[in-house]
Amino acid sequence: MVLILSILIALLIGFIFFQYKEKRNLTSNIAYAHQKLQMIVQENTIEKVLAHTEHQELMQLLNMINELLVEKQKVLVTHTRLEESMRKMLSNVSHDLKTPLTVILGYIEMLEIDHSLNEEERRQLLFKLHTKTNEVLKIIHTFFDLAKIEAGDQHYPLSKVNINEICRKNILTFYDMVTAMNMDIKIDIPEAPLYAFGNEEAIDRALNNLLSNALTYGAEGKIIGLALRNDEAYIYIDIWDKGKGIDEYHVDRVFERTYTMEDSRNKSFQGSGLGLTITKRLLEIMGGSIQLSSIPYEKTVFTATLKRITY
């Protein structure tokens, strides 16, 4: 009996000691986790909270904390990139506004100071002033358009749209300009109607941007084209030219916001490095995408992709 009682007392003492040790380890791990987490937050490091413990609930808590830390780092990286992109965009827009505004001020000073100007000369200066002012407004509108699109403030309700008709309408808009530039135009639009899930206003703007781009930078090739094709799931609109094209190094980056390069399509396109980015965003809003392939002086193709509707 005494032996049994001694064993029970020993087991009880062992259990109490074990519980005390577990509680002490748990308290120590919690204190460590708190200090480590506080340091990570204050110093904004990419470390994780690690603790050697067999306590399941504590392990689950630490795993969740580490997942939150990973998400926090992703958000910080995205925020940093966005800030850098915005700074660069503001710098580009400021630079692009500076030149036409300087010219505008010069025209105004000439009109105010030079009293020897005759009526025709004044009329020409006023015309140039009007043109440059519109250029400034276009840059500003483009900047705010992208800001509204990316903020989700620009709404484009989606519905079933006839892509054949939209393509015909847009290519006809540029037909006189193409012929005036002594360029050929090749149109490949099937007779059978193709319907996509999209917004006519957004598609119009995307195609207008791409056709303007092809005319501006494909003029040396003396031809531009529009081809409409499809498969079971998607509709593809190819806008192509045979001009100077885009080097392979830049192909994957021309759609980045404010990405610029020497003699860049994206930089000159609509004046502020935003045109191709806006086109990409508009297509993405409709569940579509845009791709680019380019062999300089052979063929440069921008392909807009939209979801097809077959009913």
Tokens at 10, concatenated: 């020993």
Say if pTM beats, i.e. exceeds, 0.85: no
Point out the domain boundary residue: 151, 185, 212.
151
Q: Is residue 179 part of a domain?
A: yes
Give the domain CATH number at 172. 3.30.565.10
Q: Is residue 184 part of a domain?
A: yes
pLDDT at 270: 40
Is 59 a residue whose pLDDT tops 60? yes
**pLDDT digit string, tens, across residues 17-29:** 455 455 556 566 6
Q: Rounded to the nearest 5°, which phi and psi values hold at 183?
A: -110, 150
Give the domain CATH number at 119. 1.10.287.130
- Comparing 41-50, 158-167, 168-177, 252-261, the range with the smallest average pLDDT is 252-261
Number of domains in the chain: 2
* Mean pLDDT for the stretch of residues 67-94: 73
Using alpha carbons, list the distances in angstroms from residue 44 to 33, 56, 62, 86, 160. 16, 28, 18, 22, 48
Element (H, E) at 306: strand 299-309
Is pLDDT larger for residue 153 or for residue 281? 281
Point out the domain boundary residue: 119, 151, 183.
151
**Mean pLDDT for all residues in the chain:** 78
Task: Determine the Cα–Cα distance for residues 242 and 262; give it in Å rounded to an integer.
Answer: 20
* Mean pLDDT for the stretch of residues 12-19: 52
What single-letter amino acid sits at 86?
M
Is 13 a residue whose pLDDT tops 60? no
Tokens at 149, concatenated: 């699109």
pLDDT at 310: 84
- Burial class for 294, CB neighbours closer than 10 Å (0-12, 13-18, 19+): buried
**pLDDT digit string, tens, across residues 206-218:** 998 899 888 888 8
The parent domain of residue 99 ranges over 77-151
Point out the domain boundary residue: 130, 151, 172.
151
**pLDDT digit string, tens, across residues 216-241:** 888 888 999 999 999 999 999 999 99
